[in-house]
Amino acid sequence: MKIVFKVWLDQDGKAFGDGPYELLKRVEKTNSLHQAAHQMGMAYSKAWGLIRVLEKRLGFPLLERKVGGLSGGGSHITPRTKEFMSNYERFREEVGISIEKIFQKHFGSVQRRKK
């Protein structure tokens, strides 16, 4: 037996969670929301709409967009987004460790019985 969980920030609806985190992580690597969305099998329009909704709920812009230019434009995460993502990473890791510990405390004996 194991424990499974989902966790997300809420501000009048889902404001951040694992999905958005993964999307932004890919934007960080590719500097492109187009590529990030494509890698996740997501339509660009859906990814763009998601970012807009999250920005509204979080209250700050997640991406800086450059249109055209020599490099052909692209999307970049901002320093504040980077800081927010780091916070989320630590939050997410601590939640995982904590839930596993509480699970073992209350259901460890069930697991042992099933071995």
Contact residues for its own copies, defined by CB under 8 A? 1-11, 14-15, 58-59, 84, 87-88, 90-91, 94-95, 98-99, 102-103, 105-107, 110, 113-114
Q: How near is the Cβ of 77 to its own copies at its closest, in Å?
A: 17
- For residue 89, how far is the Cα from the chain centroid? 9
Which of 29, 91 has the CB closer to its own copies? Answer: 91
Q: How near is the Cβ of 60 to its own copies at its closest, in Å?
A: 9
Q: How near is the Cβ of 33 to its own copies at its closest, in Å?
A: 23
The whole-angstrom separation of Cα 31 and Cα 27 is 5
Which residues lie across from 66 on neighbouring strands? 74
Q: How near is the Cβ of 32 to its own copies at its closest, in Å?
A: 27
The full length of the chain comes to 115
Which of 43, 102 has the CB closer to its own copies? Answer: 102
Residues 6+ positions from 95 with CB-CB distance below 8 Å:
5, 7
Which of 69, 112 has the CB closer to its own copies? Answer: 112
Q: Considering only CA atoms, which of 21, 92, 13, 82 is closest in space to residue 53?
A: 13
